[in-house]
Amino acid sequence: MNKIPLEIIGLSYSQTQTGAYALVLGEKDGKRRLPIIIGSFEAQAIAIEMEKMVPTRPLTHDLFKKFADSFNVRVKEVVVYNLLEGIFYAKVICEDGVREVEIDSRTSDAIALAVRFDCPIFTYEFILSSAGIVIPEEDEDAQEDHAKAEQASEKLEGPGYEKMSLQQLELLLDKSIEEEAYEKASKIRDEINRRKKDS
């Protein structure tokens, strides 16, 4: 199975889960985005390293890196290898020059280590095709489509996606992606996929 390289696009505060964040990973040579909900501690650990900030005392992920460096262990890569019932599974692949070991990990911890070890992040096609959000290219009708999506969403209280037509959902999905509201976009995508599966 071919691995698809990912990069960190950004972190944003979750609009639906208090104290949670959306980590957005993007396909390096493509237009798909993979939003993953993570805890505030893990979001902080990722953000601190990405911003090259130095905490007064080492965080858990920093301690792991110092420990690994002390024993000449390096993280070779991180792979988001499965998605079950909305939960992403990852593994950290380590090597010490003699052997290579795969360690099961929460995705958020694996990404926090990946930024510290400056190693690549990968996933598989089946995960991107089921949970990825495609960033569409703008066309001439994009503004008109977005206006229709805005009107459709204003008519509803709360998400109300079940009351919307498939076309309205697809327009709203495009608008959410353009606004980088990836968590909202993933919920809309799930509703579209559910309808296509039922039909």
DSSP line for 57-104: S--HHHHHHHHHHHTT-EEEEEEEEEEETTEEEEEEEEE-SS-EEEEE
Threshold 0.75, pTM exceeds: no
| Tokens encoding 191 | 């509703």
Q: Could you identify the residue written with the tokens 């805005």?
A: 150
32: DSSP letter = E
Share of the chain above pLDDT 90, in %: 43
| pLDDT tens profile 45-75 | 998 898 888 888 888 999 999 999 999 999 9
Please, what are the domains in the chain? 3-131 (3.10.690.10), 138-198 (no CATH)
| pLDDT tens profile 69-126 | 999 999 999 999 999 988 999 999 999 999 999 999 999 999 999 999 999 999 999 9
DSSP E strands: which ranges in the chain? 3-13, 20-27, 32-39, 74-84, 87-95, 100-106, 121-124, 133-134
